[in-house]
Amino acid sequence: MENKIKKIGILTGGGDAPGLNAVIRAITRTAILKYGYEVIGYKFGYRGLYNNDFMPLTLDSVSGILHKGGTILYSSNKDNLFEYLVEEDGKTVKKDVSDVAVENLKNEGVDVLVVLGGDGTLTSARDFARKGVKVIGVPKTIDNDLGATDITFGFDTAVSIVTELLGRIHTTAESHHRVMVVEAMGRNAGFIALHAGIAGSADVILIPEIPYNVDSIVKRVKERDEHGQPFTIIVVAEGATEKGGEVVVNKIVEDSPDPIRLGGIANKLANDLEKVIKNHEVRSVVLGHVQRGGDTTPYDRILSTRYGAEAADMIAEGKFGNMVCIRDGHMSSVSLEEVIGSNKSVDPKGELVRIAKNIGISFGDE
């Protein structure tokens, strides 16, 4: 059957992640060089699709972006076109404006929409597929918590950044004999904190999958003191909780499809520890968005290129309504219907937790 695909559109939604530009580059170059497609990119995710705000993507426009973090298409995590905030009669109301987006695609002659995003962004991708739009999804999150794929781009870069910063914090903690509580991203999954904590020589790693108790952490600090190591590095994932407690919420963003913003657990834990640890200063460090920024690691550049090239191949093969994924190290695909809500988390009895405990790292649960 004749392949009638001539023009594709790309958008990036949700939080930015190192590797997005590398994916955009790989899709664009493969689409143009291998298949002869025209490529455009919608700005600010679904908002650009609604406003018909796009830019041409050419070999020139994607040149020199392989290593850069962020996204040349910009991004937004507030624009769900199936519940879009619009002004009507002087009031802000949620309205389904997805038909406007579908019409924009038709008017611009876009045959396929490639959506780079996490759970929320891909939920809308699935919904557009249900409306008859030819959609290809590409998984994006630094948290590595999408269950439908083995690994997501941006995760390795985030772990590398946190690991480097832990090394810097280590020297100042040792100099002042301090207890340093370092907060990492990850939402409700502890992968970044776990991997960076092991790589960065943390003494305590606190993750959402293993609730902690303060007494256990204090015990670990005392043990280090007794062994002539009068400083302690604690890495805590933003979604970690004390036993019987709740996650610490930084703020609620009312106009966002995912309104809860976690953050502040490091400050809370530092305050709790200061009440019971009298022979050390306890300081907290929130790494925040620095974990998303800067250059992309070589591993993520290659991984992103694999994702992007495969997405272009899937267009040619007519595998619409699916997301690119990696299974057992090999490129594959999975239906968007199966992707949504399929999240993964750290296995408390898994290999990494086990070996971390074997080398003396505490998870605050003893």
Tens of pLDDT along 82-105?
999 888 888 888 899 999 999 999
What is the widest separation between alpha-carbon atoms in the chain? 75
Give the global pTM.
0.92
Active-site residue, from 79, 111, 119, 143:
143
Question: Regarding the domain delimited by 158-293+347-358, which CATH topology (the fold level of the hierarchy) does it fall under?
Answer: Rossmann fold (3.40.50)
Cα 335 from Cα 2, distance rounded (Å)? 24
Tens of pLDDT along 12-27?
999 899 999 999 999 9
Instruction: Check if CATH label 3.40.50.450 holds for domain 7-153+296-327.
Output: yes
For the chain, strand residue ranges (E) read 7-12, 38-42, 54-57, 84-88, 91-95, 112-117, 135-139, 179-184, 204-206, 232-237, 249-252, 260-262, 282-286, 322-327, 330-335
Tens of pLDDT along 32-58?
999 999 999 999 999 999 999 999 999
143 is catalytic: yes
Q: What is the mean pLDDT of the chain?
A: 93
Residues of the chain with CATH 3.40.50.450: 7-153+296-327
Residues of the chain with CATH 3.40.50.460: 158-293+347-358
DSSP 312-337: HHHHHTT-TTEEEEEETTEEEEEEHH
- Give the mean pLDDT of 163-186: 94
Among the listed residues 94, 58, 70, the one whose alpha carbon sits nearest the alpha carbon of residue 15: 70
